[in-house]
Structure 1
């Protein structure tokens, strides 16, 4: 970890700890009933803020899925028909692949007999 990242982690930990101590002190001063109401409002805002951040993270992760040649995958590419019981597997292999189930071999990988 580089120096500035290490410093950023430490600053984040210290600031997070100070926020927790401050909120704890505030809740003790306000009393249990008022602190419960305030915690509910804070939790609602944190949840509403986290939802779009999570959606953005999913969108970024989906965009980052590369295909073998760099082009977008066609619909249904690299998929197999569902097996018994509705199980669906997707396999991508750049070179050799070996699966132990029913001795399926692809390429030169896998055990020799």
Structure 2
């Protein structure tokens, strides 16, 4: 008889793990990334594909948000398509920030 596991305990291919996934393995990078961001430092995460970068971001953002920090995530791959003017590229970044910070009611990307 096979044991059934909750969805959060299953092996996942691609994408970020849920913030409360019990299969997530804490690394030194988790602490370094969190502490750097808390200190107001510019931080970046470089690693190979499928190595937990998105999960690190999700967990760190959740931790910071729980402490009252406003967090935003910008996916540059969705902004920099072919034939994009600099104005449209920057508008894409602003739109991502407005959306991530839930500021749609206060700011209009068109204005």
Give the TM-score normalised by the residue count of structure 2.
0.26
Q: Which structure has the highest strand share of the two?
A: 1
Give the TM-score normalised by the residue count of structure 1.
0.25
**Higher-Rg member (1/2):** 1
Q: Which structure has the highest helix share of the two?
A: 1
Q: Which has the higher contact order (CA 8 A, sep 6+)?
A: 2
